[in-house]
Amino acid sequence: MDAERKAVVVDVGLGALCVAMGLLYASRGALPYWWLTAVTALLTVALAWADDHGVVGGWTTVVVVAAFGVAVLALGLVAGPAVVSAVIPAVLAGIGAGIVPYRLYYGVVRPVPSGRVADVGERAL
Distance (Å, whole) CA 36 – CA 87: 8
Task: State residue 66 phi and psi, 5-degree precision.
Answer: -65, -40
Q: Which of 24, 34, 3, 33 is nearest to 124 (CA)?
A: 3
Distance (Å, whole) CA 121 – CA 18: 23
Q: Is the pTM of this model over 0.85?
A: no
DSSP 48-77: HHHHHTTSS-HHHHHHHHHHHHHHHHHHHH
Q: Which of 77, 106, 76 is nearest to 88 (CA)?
A: 76
Read off the pLDDT of residues 98-110 as tens digits, 9 standing for 90 and up: 999 999 999 999 9
Q: What is the band of 124 on the pLDDT scale with cuts at 50, 70, 90? A: low
Read off the pLDDT of residues 20-79 as tens digits, 9 standing for 90 and up: 998 888 777 667 778 888 999 999 999 889 888 878 766 777 788 788 878 877 877 787
DSSP conformation class of 44: H
Task: State residue 80 phi and psi, 5-degree precision.
Answer: 105, 160
pLDDT of 83 higher than 80: no
